[in-house]
């Protein structure tokens, strides 16, 4: 109620809370005591003053809580006992403390509906006992906080941008990215279509975004790496896919840029696309470079000796995971499997980290970031890819 000592002493402010309460000021209340386990059973004829100590229990509560308790103890029929009054006041105080605890822990959550969901759960009283225990336990309330935070992260922490990488990346602030995980063009530079026998023709033209001569492509890679270093936090990690033709150039560029090469990581395909022309072995391997930025300890979750290998053996995208256009045709020719991106992301970053993908294609990186509780900024210049990624994010 926010009373001063003087106001508590004369109780005059009770009139502003409930008129029935005013009628008992200076008088006595029926005294209620436990009888056969029922704390609200009255002892007829017993009296006790409405004391200042009784009201002190509610001075730190919200006006609504104060009103409810004073009304309950003063109503003409079925009033609550003073013992029950005190117990409820303590529960309300505990819930208010829990509300503040939740607000502090969920400071980054700006969704009123989700915060309200947490407060409603607290008001049900399920957490009172643990919170008021002699050795306060927060395990249950922390579990509630985690569930709310997980829900918010999945809804609100993914930003997709339809635009040119070289323009949009400049808008990202310095040292704000924990993990760069991206699959840029490989500069395959093939515009031919391979004619098949008893099968569909196979186009080797992946689009204008994948056409460049070798020297200029190396210059482009250098531009990427400079931007990646700028936006990465100290101790941040970068994972960039490229072709076996350019992996050595990428390593050199990383070193020249001041980044530290960690290793090459290989994706070995169980079911690679069949050879169009049967004159050589089937290419079943793709590679990415893993590097870190100095200034802090980088993140790495050791999976155990048996699994800490620098390759992953898994199939290419198939079935429902493969994104298609409205006619049922494969939309993106080099879509990476979610399992591969998840493995790399979970091993090299933490929940809540900010992930960046400058060439997101149809959105595998942001999709995996959402599913694993990471934040993500992703850029794609192709409108159809961007729209597919947006739909995929909300599936």
The 10s digit of each residue's pLDDT in 224-243 is 999 999 999 999 999 999 99
Which pLDDT value is given to residue 206? 43
What is the location of CATH 3.40.50.150 in the chain?
157-393
- CB 210 within 8 Å of CB 189: yes
Question: What predicted TM-score, i.e. pTM, was given to this entire model?
Answer: 0.61
The 10s digit of each residue's pLDDT in 78-131 is 767 778 888 988 999 999 999 999 999 888 777 889 999 999 999 999 999 999
Which pLDDT value is given to residue 193? 42
Which pLDDT value is given to residue 47? 34
pLDDT > 70: percent of the chain: 77
**Of the listed ranges 54-63, 106-115, 165-174, 330-339, the one predicted with least confidence:** 54-63
- Examine the pLDDT at 74 and tell me if it is beyond 70: no
The CATH number for 157-393, chosen from 3.40.630.30, 3.30.565.10, 3.10.450.350, 3.40.50.150, is 3.40.50.150
Which pLDDT value is given to residue 71? 72
How confident is the model over 65-75, as a mean pLDDT?
A: 74
Q: What is the mean pLDDT of the chain?
A: 81
Which pLDDT value is given to residue 301? 97
Banded pLDDT at 6 (limits 50, 70, 90): low
The 10s digit of each residue's pLDDT in 240-299 is 999 999 999 999 999 999 999 999 999 999 999 887 788 889 989 999 999 999 999 999
Which pLDDT value is given to residue 75? 65
């Amino acid at each position: 109620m926010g009373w001063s000592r003087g106001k508590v002493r004369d109780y005059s402010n009770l009139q502003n809370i409930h008129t029935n309460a005013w009628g008992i000021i200076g008088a006595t209340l029926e005294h209620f005591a436990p009888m056969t386990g029922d704390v609200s059973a009255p002892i007829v004829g017993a009296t006790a003053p409405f004391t200042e100590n009784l009201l002190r229990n509610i001075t730190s509560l919200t006006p609504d809580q104060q009103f409810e308790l004073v009304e309950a103890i003063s109503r003409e029929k079925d009033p609550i006992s003073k013992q029950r009054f005190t117990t409820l006041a303590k529960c309300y105080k505990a819930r208010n403390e829990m509300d503040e605890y939740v607000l502090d822990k969920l400071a980054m959550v700006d969704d009123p509906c989700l915060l309200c969901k947490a407060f409603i759960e607290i008001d049900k009283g399920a957490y009172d006992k643990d919170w008021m225990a002699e050795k306060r336990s927060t395990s249950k309330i922390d579990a509630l906080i985690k569930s709310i935070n997980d829900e918010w992260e999945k809804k609100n922490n993914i930003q997709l941008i339809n635009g040119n990488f070289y323009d949009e990346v400049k808008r990202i602030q310095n040292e704000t990215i924990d993990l760069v995980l991206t699959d840029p063009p490989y500069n395959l530079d093939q515009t031919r279509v391979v004619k098949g026998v008893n099968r569909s023709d196979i186009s080797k033209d992946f689009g204008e975004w994948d056409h460049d001569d070798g020297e200029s492509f190396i210059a482009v890679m250098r531009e990427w790496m400079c931007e990646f270093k700028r936006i990465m936090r100290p101790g941040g990690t970068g994972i960039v896919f490229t072709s076996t033709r350019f992996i050595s150039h990428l390593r050199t560029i990383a070193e020249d840029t001041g980044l530290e090469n960690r290793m090459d990581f290989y994706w070995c395909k169980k079911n690679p696309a069949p050879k169009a022309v049967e004159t050589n072995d089937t290419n079943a391997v793709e590679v990415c470079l893993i590097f870190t930025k100095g200034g802090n300890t980088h993140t790495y979750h050791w999976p155990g000796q048996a699994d800490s290998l620098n390759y992953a053996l898994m199939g290419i995208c198939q079935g429902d995971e493969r994104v298609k256009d409205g006619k049922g045709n494969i939309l993106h020719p080099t879509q990476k499997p979610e399992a591969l991106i998840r493995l790399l992301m979970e091993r090299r970053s933490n929940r809540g980290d900010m992930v960046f993908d400058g060439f997101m294609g149809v959105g595998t990186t942001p999709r995996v970031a959402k599913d694993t509780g990471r934040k993500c900024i992703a850029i794609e210049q192709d409108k159809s890819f961007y729209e597919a990624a947006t739909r995929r994010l909300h599936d």
